Structure 1
């Protein structure tokens, strides 16, 4: 079994759990509202806020998606305020655990490319204008994923498989925990996000 096949097999349950998460299910159907989109942005921003500042650039030839920059643009675009720290992130402090985390982060850009089209078609959110996080690399998504796979294969013999696989599972679980936290906060929110978010500049306001 290849490294990629092992990663996919080991994280299948966690990956599929995100697809059916109540906060995220609208990303693949017509139930999605703008309020949902705002909460999703806040959840992913919370998920990435904890681990990203502590990452070390161990693999200089592996792509490292600038997810926090993309999310910062989205939050600014929609007038959203980042949530206070919600979670303690897993540690991705060894090369093997870092690669496991990068697998999840880089892999998410593939799904994000599909979601970006859904956001455009369903909510009229233009890629790289009204939504940056899901639009990600845009037309370069496939190229960046192949670059990551080349790096993963190149370093595979140096990685501790147990650490690699556990870190990838931890990364998925961390995203799910952020979604759980935002969903719980939504249940007790007094004012809808649509009432406090700033109008989008893209709509001439």
Structure 2
């Protein structure tokens, strides 16, 4: 199954990004620190979603509109008194020129929702926040259901596009890690 293969074939880049993000999250000491983290996500995910939206629609992913994250991140930033930053463009983002590559990038975004509730609890507990957590709470109790639905779409894709999806997912992980390092 494509979703299982993706997990295996993106493990190295996924772990590198996860290590970077965990370090960022553990280093949060103030609301302003958290605001900067949200702005990192907004910049990268915002630019990424703009590219994805050129190739993914309800025909490919029926619940695509529900899966957009940029609005939730912007809402959290505003709730904490900040302003959304400029979205990533150009070489800061992975190449997305077709639906295959867009699905690979979405694999990274959708996968990020799985740890979101844990991250939300960590941040809430550490900083005492009750607002500004909608992005990390994402789908709430429906997170695993939404993930399973996304994996089902991936698993329906023809085998010949697996390499393109995998390469795009790896590039998305790598470019996000680079984005974070550039904005440390």
Per the alignment, do residues 141 and 85 of structure 1 end up closer, same or farther by CA in structure 2, a change over 3 Å counting?
closer
- Aligned residue for 2:43, secondary structure, equals helix
Tell me if structure 2 keeps the 8 A contact 1:62–1:151. no
Pair 1:142-2:144 in alignment? yes
Tell me if structure 1 keeps the 8 A contact 2:48–2:88. no
Residue of structure 2 equivalent to 1:66: 68
Query: Unmatched 5+ residue regions in structure 1?
Result: 184-205
Residue of structure 1 equivalent to 2:163: 162
Residue of structure 2 equivalent to 1:25: 23
Q: Which has the larger radius of gyration?
A: 1
Per the alignment, do residues 124 and 82 of structure 1 end up closer, same or farther by CA in structure 2, a change over 3 Å counting?
same
Q: 1:48 aligns with which of 45, 48, 68?
A: 45
**1:63-87 deviation line (CA, Å, top 9, x unaligned):** 5622101111011111222333554
Distance 2:5 2:151 in 1: 13
Instruction: Give, in angstroms, the shift of residue 117 of structure 1.
Output: 1.4
Distance 1:167 1:78 in 2: 33
TM-score by length of 2: 0.85
Q: 1:91 aligns with which of 90, 95, 105?
A: 95
1:1-205 map, 5 Å: 2-21=1-20, 24-27=22-25, 29=26, 31-34=27-30, 35-54=32-51, 55=53, 56=55, 57=57, 59-61=60-62, 63=64, 65-88=67-90, 89-126=93-130, 129-155=131-157, 157=158, 160-183=161-184
Query: Unmatched 5+ residue regions in structure 2?
Result: none
Per the alignment, do residues 116 and 141 of structure 1 end up closer, same or farther by CA in structure 2, a change over 3 Å counting?
same
Tell me if structure 1 keeps the 8 A contact 2:101–2:168. yes
CA RMSD of aligned residues (A): 2.1
Tell me if structure 1 keeps the 8 A contact 2:114–2:143. yes
Instruction: Give, in angstroms, the shift of residue 95 of structure 1.
Output: 2.0
TM-score by length of 1: 0.77
